[in-house]
Structure 1
């Protein structure tokens, strides 16, 4: 019960963070991502320093680094696939990420109760349906499926690797994974600036780009701090849940963040929720209730 509740807290935190991050990223995706990840890193560094916990062994740190990299792969594939193909194809495929930890957990001997298995099946199906957009057809479908699959593997890998890293200490697992994400994003930002300034004919545009980015970064600070704090809370809740609960169960419940994001888009922005999405949301919530009760 404790693990399930912690996983639901993680889902709520990730869902709200995804919703807010999507809105803040309209002023620049890289700025929004880097800002929120950096804010999360600062908060985690402060927590680790306050707790004074010694770092774990290299094996656990390596797992945390891999978790951070895997999560970035999932995010990058999801955003790139959504930009180049139908979102209604990319999102449902990516929402199958809990299948990875569910298989890994079962293979390692962590078999949930029969009632929970039924609830997990219903929840995963509901998550996939809830992630569907109103348009699932059009050009670029094969590429969208491929990007969605890569995203699912990336997020699924994060679920598994973070669970392994948390065994050496939750705070250090979170700090190392977030530091990895910030380091990669900084490298991408520096590389993008170098490529931009090296382009012929950029002239004044190249010189004014840093000023525009600094202005965008300043405007994004409050939102980035909020998103970063939500990420820290969600990651911590998920890591704690994996320590005391079944990996597959925790990952499936954590993946309900998609349902939270879709629900917020409908409630706050007035976005229409299609019939398929409504059925998916109801199924996901019903499946989660069965898992918690079981």
Structure 2
């Protein structure tokens, strides 16, 4: 039950971080938002290291850095797919793959959740697919390349979950430190190579910093959840984060939710309930 609570809280915090990141990109370039939010997350995890101590080990850093590289690759491909494809195709493909890959991996290595929990996994993946849909987006730019990039991007995010779950027990937040150092390095190098400005837009720095801190807080929750529960269940619960982003967009910005997205939010709640009762 503890792992379910942590994973569900992680999804809520991830969704809130994405919501704030989306607000920030209205005033700043994407690379500036990503790089600066990651730096804020790095500062946050450095502040937490003395509070949530763990034993340093090279293995913890290496697993964390591997996870960070997978996550950074997924992020770059995701933004490329959004820029060159259709959001209503790219977003659900990425989100569904990021949920499906850890589930498949967990089952492959011998995890055997209870039947009711497996039913919850199926409902959860369906929920991710539904809440990520945007029926109002056009389909004129839909091509095979962005779809493939979206699928690989989702696999990168799923890889982040898998690799981070392999961090040795008792190493505290050292894996997350390694992950953030690796991802920041990749993002900054790409920004420099493509000559993208990293200066935030006026009035957006606080929002960017809040997004980065919440993203790292979600990573902390995921790390603890993965250490206490089955990867095939924890990762799929975490992947429900688009539901909280949608709810915030509805009640903070007044955005209209489409019926298919409302159905996805309901399915997400059902999935959490099923997995929690297992």
Shift of 1:60: 3.0
The reply to whether residue 15 of structure 1 matches residue 15 of structure 2 is: yes
Shift of 1:167: 3.2
Structure 1 residues without counterparts, runs of 5 or longer = 197-208
Assess if the C-alpha contact under 8 Å between 1:35 and 1:220 holds in 2: no
Cα gap change, 1:271/1:104 in structure 2, threshold over 3 Å: closer, same or farther? same
Cα gap change, 1:169/1:275 in structure 2, threshold over 3 Å: closer, same or farther? same
Shift of 1:45: 1.5
- Counterpart CA distance in 2 for 1:235 and 1:98 is 16
Which residue of structure 1 lines up, in the alignment, with residue 62 of structure 2? 62
Cα gap change, 1:119/1:51 in structure 2, threshold over 3 Å: closer, same or farther? closer
Structure-to-structure mapping, 1:256-271, within 5 angstroms: 256-271=240-255
Structure-to-structure mapping, 1:68-217, within 5 angstroms: 68-96=68-96, 97-134=98-135, 135=137, 137-165=139-167, 167=169, 169-193=171-195, 214=199, 216=200
Assess if the C-alpha contact under 8 Å between 1:73 and 1:154 holds in 2: yes
- Report SS of the residue matched to 1:140: coil
1:278 to 262, 265, 268: 262
Cα gap change, 1:137/1:190 in structure 2, threshold over 3 Å: closer, same or farther? closer
- Report SS of the residue matched to 1:270: coil
Shift of 1:190: 2.5
Cα deviation digits, residues 80-113 of structure 1 (max 9, x gap)? 1111111000011111111111111111111110
- Counterpart CA distance in 2 for 1:255 and 1:264 is 17
Shift of 1:137: 2.8
Cα gap change, 1:48/1:280 in structure 2, threshold over 3 Å: closer, same or farther? same
Cα gap change, 1:217/1:171 in structure 2, threshold over 3 Å: closer, same or farther? farther
Aligned length in residues: 275
Structure-to-structure mapping, 1:220-239, within 5 angstroms: 220-239=204-223
Cα gap change, 1:114/1:33 in structure 2, threshold over 3 Å: closer, same or farther? same
Shift of 1:51: 5.2
- Report SS of the residue matched to 2:204: helix
TM-score relative to the length of structure 2: 0.92
Cα gap change, 1:176/1:229 in structure 2, threshold over 3 Å: closer, same or farther? same
- Counterpart CA distance in 2 for 1:43 and 1:218 is 23
Query: Which structure's residues are more often helix, by fraction?
Result: 1
Assess if the C-alpha contact under 8 Å between 2:85 and 2:142 holds in 1: yes
The two structures, once aligned, show a CA RMSD in angstroms of 1.9
- Counterpart CA distance in 2 for 1:170 and 1:141 is 43
- Counterpart CA distance in 2 for 1:128 and 1:21 is 21
Q: Which moves more between the two structures, 137-146 or 115-124?
A: 137-146
Q: Which moves more between the two structures, 120-129 or 219-228?
A: 219-228
- Report SS of the residue matched to 2:56: coil
TM-score relative to the length of structure 1: 0.88
* Higher-Rg member (1/2): 1
- Counterpart CA distance in 2 for 1:79 and 1:186 is 15
Assess if the C-alpha contact under 8 Å between 2:84 and 2:141 holds in 1: no
